[in-house]
Amino acid sequence: MTAVRNIRSIIRRVALLTVVVLVIIPTVFFFYWMFLLSFRTNVDNMAYPPKFLTRTVVVDNYSIVFKQNPFFRYLLNSLIVAAASTLLGLLVGLPAAYSIARYKQKGVALAIMLARMTPHISYLLPWFIFFRMMRLLDSYISLVVTHLLVSLPIIVWTLISYFEDLPRDIEDSAFIDGCSIYGVFARIALPLVKPGIIVVSILSFIFSWNNFMFSVVLSGPRTRTLPVAVYSLMTFEEIIWGQLAAAAAVITLPVIVLTLIIQKHIVSGLTFGAIKG
Amino acid sequence: MKSPRTVLKPQFAFISPTLVFLLLVVAFPLVYVLYMSTQEWYLASRVPPTFVGLKNYAEIIFKDSRFGSALKNTFLFTLIALTLQTTLGVLCALLFDTEFKGRGIVRTVFIVPMATTPVAISLVWILMMQPTTGVLNYFLSLVHIKPALWVFSQKTVLLALAIVDTWMWTPFIMLITLGGLSSLPTEPFEQAKIDGANSFQTFFRITLPLLRPYIAVAVILRSIDCLKTFDIIFVMTQGGPGTASETLNIFMFLKGFYQFHIGYASAVAVVFFVIILVVSIVLLRFRRPE
């Protein structure tokens, strides 16, 4: 009896392990392949049948990508735009989330959700015309303001539930002590939702960093962000796999690190409070 | 002594920056795009925009076969991608609901794709999908399947793009479903055990119906975004080969920013906006069943 049961449990375990490996292989292999391509010569990358290991590690792909293009500039641009739109998003979104949670302003919440759900490409054409008219194409302002459409919904919708969960009696006792609503917000509510603020800042940074559609239209040689720069690498006549992979690795690495930091909360920022992370 | 601050009601003061943003960056452009859609307007030409009424709309809906094909591609892509990622996402949620060694770390790795930069992801997928030297066809050859053309053939391009989208977003469905699984009541399962139900019966008769609201939320949110997929399609195919993967998003983008046919593109933008708005409203009605 026990022997049969043991064999059964072993089979079960092996089966489970196999399924786990099958499920995770597409993800692991993808990133492995990206980094492998980026550290190999073109000859090795084009070999068929493909080689899955490498004896030599070369960093030429990275150095060429950075040398032939002002990639540091693009990196800096991406950093500036993502950080600035996140900061601006917090400045605008924190009071809004607090207010929506406290005064049940469902209409505003709904408007923000609709702004997020409707196709952003529909706004892109008028933005382009305006910014062109105001000579603000290829400026940080146009990028930061439009990226707010990415960051604000994430910030507001995630933080509403954080603010709703705050115990009201702490606020009430502050009122009795003569604190104004603004004082309560700044000195009591904000510090209490600090973990939430960290989560939304990272989420907002990631999705602004990833944004391609706004930047491809509104940025220019001076403000070009990484996704646009990497995309334009592809339009070269001769595509060097290793360089493409290196550029892809440069963009994704910071995002991978940030994702690992907030992995548990990532879904809460993308579901409009439907699921609490 | 009253400061000017107390004159402004706090509930208005708190949200006024957001309202200003919504008004200037969202509402006003929408009104303007409506206006633009009634114009014959080429950005490249010296001819000033002229009012043409609903001509652009009439042309889109009755004359332009590319619009019809873009509409079809948009929904077909969404249907394929959602079918794949919902099935896989629910199955993966069941897997991650079971105890196994290293579950935490495997789950963490599994969800990375949904946050990584779509442009970068697309580039690597293109390299993997190269018909002659790509690694995917090598894998197929290992199991004796003849090489596929992936995004390089009109027949398979939508499926290939849907696979990329599925790779990115299966974790999203998985996470929401997993959240549902962890909050299921235990009584129905105990009762099923007493009644001698096997695991298939339990899954289809109890687990799945109880999970339905969670899966619904995941599918709704995903479908709204899936219809608007831009980055991976633009980077991998630009709507090609031919117009085989040209979705409404791509169609509008090419009309507006490549041909600078501003009035026409605006009309497409308005139609697309209305479609997504209607789909969103209809779907969101299902969101809270209670």
Residue with tokens 């303007």: B32
- pLDDT tens-digit profile of A7-64? 988 998 899 999 999 999 999 999 999 999 999 998 898 888 899 988 889 999 999 9
Identify the three-state secondary structure at position A124. helix
ipTM of predicted assembly, 2 dp: 0.92
In a domain, B154, yes or no: yes
Domain A62-270 has CATH 3.40.228.10: no
Contact of A35 with chain B, judged by CB distance below 8 Å, is answered with no
- In tens, the pLDDT along B205-223 reads 889 999 998 999 899 999 9
Q: Which two tokens stand for residue A197?
A: 């603020």
Q: Are B56 and B263 in contact (CB under 8 A)?
A: yes
Cβ-based neighbours of B192, under 8 Å, separated by 6 or more: B201, B202, B205, B206
The CA radius of gyration of chain B, in Å to the nearest whole number, is 24
Q: Mean pLDDT highest for which of A52-56, A177-181, B35-39?
A: B35-39
Element (H, E) at B239: none
Residue B28: pLDDT band with limits 50, 70, 90: very high
* Interchain CB distance below 8 Å, B172 and A117: no
Chain A residue numbers touching B128 (CB-CB < 8 A): 30, 33
User: Contact B273/A122 with Cβ under 8 angstroms?
Assistant: yes
What's the CATH number where B192 sits? 1.10.3720.10
Residues of B in contact with A274 (CB under 8 A): 176, 217, 221, 287
The three-state secondary structure class of A98 is: helix
| B105-108, long-range: CB < 8 A, 24+ apart | B106/A20, B106/A23, B106/A24, B107/A263, B108/A260, B108/A263
DSSP B42: B
| Least CB–CB distance from B176: residue in A27, A241, A267 | A267
- What DSSP element (H or E) covers B208? helix B208-226
pLDDT band with cut points at 50, 70 and 90 for residue B177: very high
Identify the weakest region by mean pLDDT among A198-202, A273-277, B277-281. A273-277
Distance, CA of B74 to CA of B86 (rounded, Å) = 18
Q: Which residues in chain B are closer than 8 Å to A245, comparing Cβ atoms? A: 123-124, 127
Which residues of chain B form beta strands (DSSP E)? 39-40, 50-51
Note which residues in 109-168 of chain A have CB less than 8 A from chain B: 111-112, 114-115, 117-130, 145-146, 148-149, 152, 156
**Which sign, positive or negative, has the C-alpha torsion A169, A173, A178, A179?**
negative
Using an 8 Å CB-CB cutoff, list chain A residues near B108. Answer: 260, 263
CA distance B22 to B32: 14
Please name which of B113, B119, B142, B137 lies closest in space to residue B229, comparing C-alpha atoms. Answer: B119
Q: How many domains are contained in chain B?
A: 1
Phi, psi of A59 (to 5 degrees): -105, 10
Phi-psi region of A54 (alpha: psi -120 to 50; beta: other; left: phi over 0): beta
pTM above 0.95, yes or no: no
User: Where in chain A is CATH 1.10.3720.10?
Assistant: 62-270
CA of A3 to nearest chain B CA: how many angstroms apart? 22
Domain range for B252: 40-285
B-chain residues near A95 (CB < 8 A): 13-15, 17-18
The kind and range of the H/E element at B39 are strand B39-40
Question: Using CB atoms, which residue from A130, A146, A206 is nearest to B115?
Answer: A206
